[in-house]
Amino acid sequence: MAGSTAETAPEIIVSNRKARHEYHVLETWQAGVVLQGTEVKSLRAGQAYLQDAYARLDVGELWLYNLHISPYEAGNRFNHDPLRPRKLLLHRQQLRKLVGHVEQKGLTLVPLDIHFQRGIAKVTLALARGKKLHDKRDDLRRRDAEREIERGYKAV
């Protein structure tokens, strides 16, 4: 049936797998991204690198830094700077809430993934606190133990 209102699952373009290893994720938000034309085409082709990216509040606006979107091959002179800061779009109330959280010691905004939702590029942002080395080791031990338990169930 044409024009159905069913929600479609977001099409994840690139994810930051290292973020969940390096940080405790406390809360997540979904933000729109202001992009230029060739950036959208590069994203649809999966040409993005998110590992070193972070978000920061500057003068009441939220900006995403160090997101690398490769220049579009057929973009010629219309291509963009791959590492330019990109503005993120959130509701005013969400921004106010973020200001209070980010000012706390040790909290940062980390992008978890970039995806398309109904044709619009979105970033999943996480309010996160950095993990200590012992926290990372505990997570690895827990994951290994869960994997061993799963293997035991499959053998039976």
The domains of the chain, with CATH numbers, are 11-131 (2.40.280.10)
Strand partners, 56: 63
Is residue 1 predicted with pLDDT exceeding 50? no
- Cα separation, 97 vs 59, whole angstroms: 15
Is residue 3 predicted with pLDDT exceeding 70? no
Measure the N-to-C terminal CA separation of the chain; round to a whole number of Å.
45
Write the pLDDT tens digit of every residue in 82-134.
788 888 898 988 888 888 777 777 788 889 989 888 888 899 988 888 877 77
Helices (H), ranges, 45-132: 92-102
Backbone torsions φ then ψ of 147, nearest 5 degrees = -65, -40
Residue 153's SS3 state is helix
- Cα separation, 127 vs 1, whole angstroms: 39
Is residue 80 predicted with pLDDT exceeding 80? no
CB atoms within 10 A of CB 41: 16
Q: Is pTM, for the whole model, over 0.75?
A: no
